[in-house]
Amino acid sequence: MVEIRNSRLINLNGVRRILKRWEDEYIDVYLSQDQFDVLVSLAYNSGVGALNRSSVMRQVKRGNIEKAGKKLKSWRVNKKFPGLQTRRNLEYKQFMSYQTFS
């Protein structure tokens, strides 16, 4: 249980570092808590580095939330793990049910 909690914290801080780096580069990205939570979940499952290099994050960085959501639906989905498509669909719904706050 402690390992899972520590891993979640590591990924939470990893996503925060990505967003802080963008902020330091004067890139304004506004995310809702739900969107942030989905990004942390993706980092937890695939790693912060993989998330940072993903097409999902490229679209988030550009402020294209709709395109990021579409990329999210198919990110790292394959036929070997059909449950992953279900998971991505749920993450997509959470990601797209946003209210952004500045």
Q: In 10 A of CB 63, how many CB atoms? A: 12
> What pTM did the predictor assign?
0.84
pLDDT digit string, tens, across residues 74-101: 888 788 888 888 999 999 999 998 655 5
Give Cα 2 distance to the centre of its chain: 23
Both tokens of 80, joined, read 């070997």
Q: Which amino acid is at 88?
A: R
Give the per-residue pLDDT at 45. 87
Closest to 93 in 3D by CA, of 47, 35, 36: 35
Q: What is the CATH number of domain 2-96?
A: 1.10.530.40
The whole-angstrom separation of Cα 102 and Cα 30 is 6
Percentage of the chain lying above the pLDDT 90 cut? 63
